[in-house]
Chains A and B, each alone.
Chain A
Amino acid sequence: MDPLLIGIIAAIAVIALLATGIPVAFGLGFVSFVFLILFEGFGSLSVVAETFFAGIGEFTLVSIPMFIVMGAAVASSPAGKDLFEALDRWLTRVPGGLIISNIGACSVFAALSGSSPATCAAIGKMGIPEMQKRGYPDSLAAGSIAAGGTLGILIPPSVTMIVYGIATETSIGRLFLAGVLPGLMLTALFMAWAIFFAWRSGYDFRDKIGSFSWRQKFEILPRVLPFLAIVVGILYVLYGGVATPSEAAGVGAFFCLFLVAVIYKIVQPKKIWEILSSSTRESVMILMIIGASALFAYTLSSLFITQSVAEYIAALDVNRWVLMGMINVFLLIAGFFLPPVAVIVMTAPILLPIIINAGFDPYWFAVILTINMEIGLITPPVGLNLYVINGIAPGISLPTILRGALPFMLCMVAGIILLCFFPEIATWLPEKIMG
């Protein structure tokens, strides 16, 4: 049977099976088993345990639970609230300062926690009521936090980027660097839209709240700066080539647990246990998907599907930008239904050869892919951030949140288009620092 046809049947089988609500990891694994047995016989099963084990048993992957613990420690503390307050106190005189504080706090917290929903929850709990209180429209308050939260998977350190790095065997340090400027660009685009929207709807930027004293401005810094130091420290050791991602993440996790204990007195065994057990749950879920995707990738390549699809696409000889457009639409649709990690591990082995054949940079593509995943986080049906906002701001209806989030989604599309015209936004910084 033609490998291309088998590939199409496999894709349909995965989609149909996942639609039943089976956990992604087990669905992927089951389809792999069925195709191996059908086309290679029962004997081919003898490698599956080793393949699955090897998929998870990699030192780089240790960084995933470590970064998740780091994020969970920060998310369990009021650090997000303090971050927001610090920015608000410092930016209170700037027009639209509250918007900048909100989205800015999101991007910083996102870097720390690496989790989009956790960012929305941490900043939104404080930021949304504050924006409502100062007269900003509900839709803008909800939309800006929903969008700001998505920055978590783009701004380093990012679990999504680590997964991409492992799935495609690309350098994680370089991927992190590639995400920095696009992350800042999206942050700026979000802020610009929010300020423009507030201005157009007749919002009076002269804040109704008085200014803060210097004392207030400074007394909050000791609670915020140590966390920033951790992020900067992690990036520094990674790019200085001092340590591997797993080492940086392990030390980062330790320091974050230490900081929340010292600054926020989170020392009760019950609270610490909550941090550790919730992060373990999340890590197990992600690592099982990674193990299953190793099986899936093995199956696709031993049935020559990966190679055939790449050859087929190359033979089509379409314009590379038309191809990129099609890939984007495909990723966008996948992102509507599946969490970022699942989309990356399932599609990266197939997409990467195509991307490289067409002359695109794999690091630049990682950024494009991640922004597509970010869009999925704020669009129905499974836009996780929308539901998180709905949970923390019960006064704002889901349609209003959706309406508020839509323009930010367009900002991300604009970001993708900008990246296509100016790939340097993603490639310049890694080039400059790592050569």
Chain B
Amino acid sequence: MSSFLKTVDAISSAFGVVAALLVTSAIFVVCQMVVMRYFLNESTVWQTEYVTYVIVAATFLGSPYVLLTKGHVNVDLLPHYLPPTPKKLMAIFASVIALLFCLILAWQAYLLLGEAIEGGWVTDTIWELPLWIPYLPMAFGMALLCVQYVAEILAIAFDSRDPAPAIDYPAERD
């Protein structure tokens, strides 16, 4: 089982890197767009849509990594004061509910992706980006998030990970 956990963690971390790269690319494209629009007075075709969808892609692809590093904000007041066993049970309960949400959204995202491919949907701009491209990271990211949640639940159940969410203070950044 620990090799399963390690593999899942590694995949999620890899997509965390992808997400950060996508965000970085958005910074450069925004700057390029500003130069084109305001300094060269040229019109831009693809930039607005690119940065919008790249941030969406980063959100979905980065989400499993954020779960792995306990970055999805929650209210941990009640779990904090519970004794170890109820705390563990509650963490498993919360994770199962979250997994259910992710499963439904992943499933619906796949249906949407299929429709977009079959219908040949494109965005209603001059760029005419096929819509399956921005939908794909949603379907894939949510599926990976489900797998990460399964790993999370197994890890908590078999005590290989502390159910208490780590609080990431920016003070610890440096």
Interface residues of A (CB under 8 A from B): 17-27, 29-30, 33, 45-46, 48-50, 52-53, 56-59, 61-62, 65-66, 69, 72, 75-76, 115, 117-118, 120-121, 125, 242-243, 246-247, 249-251, 253-254, 257, 273-274, 276-285, 287-289, 291, 337-339, 342, 381-382, 384, 387-388, 391-392
CB pair B98–A118 under 8 Å, yes or no, is no
- B74, A243: Cβ atoms closer than 8 Å: no
A20 touches B59 (CB 8 A): no
Closest to B137 in A: A53
What residues make up the interface of B, taking CB atoms closer than 8 Å to A?
16-17, 19-20, 23-24, 26-31, 33-34, 37-38, 48, 51-53, 55-56, 58-59, 62-63, 65-67, 69, 71-79, 90-91, 93-95, 97-98, 100-102, 104-105, 108-109, 111-112, 134-135, 138, 165, 167-174
Name the B residues within 8 Å of A281 (CB-CB): 16, 62, 65-66, 69, 71, 168
- CB neighbours of A125 from chain B (8 A): 171
Q: What are 5 A-B interface contacts by the 8 Å CB criterion?
A: A49-B138, A59-B51, A75-B173, A276-B23, A387-B167
Q: A27-B98, A48-B104, A288-B59 are in contact. Are A246 and B138 (CB under 8 A)?
A: no
A53 to B137, CA, bound (A): 11
Instruction: Tell me whether B52 and A23 are in contact (CB under 8 A).
Output: no
In the bound complex, do residue A388 and residue B169 qualify as a contact, i.e. CB atoms below 8 Å apart? yes
Q: Which residue of B lies closest to A384 (CB)?
A: B169
Which residue of A45, A57, A382 is within 8 Å of B52 (Cβ)?
A: A57
Interface of B (DSSP majority class): helix
Question: Which residues of the other chain, A, contact B55 by a CB distance below 8 angstroms?
Answer: 56, 61-62, 65, 283, 287
Partner of B73, one of A20, A75, A279, A339: A339
Given contacts A69-B27, A284-B62, A287-B59, contact A23 B19 (CB under 8 A): no
Partner of B23, one of A20, A283, A387: A283
Closest Cβ of chain A to B139, distance in Å, is: 8
CB distance from B129 to the nearest CB of A (A): 12
CA distance A285 to B74 in the complex (A): 10
Contacts of A33 in B (CB 8 A): 100-101, 104
> B104 → chain A, closest Cβ, in Å?
6
Contact of A76 with B173 at beta-carbon distance under 8 Å, contacts A23-B73, A61-B55 already known:
yes
Q: Are the CB atoms of B171 and A388 closer together than 8 Å?
A: yes
Contacts of A61 in B (CB 8 A): 52, 55
Cβ of B138: which chain A residues have Cβ within 8 Å of it? Answer: 49, 52-53
Nearest CB on B from A342, distance (A): 7
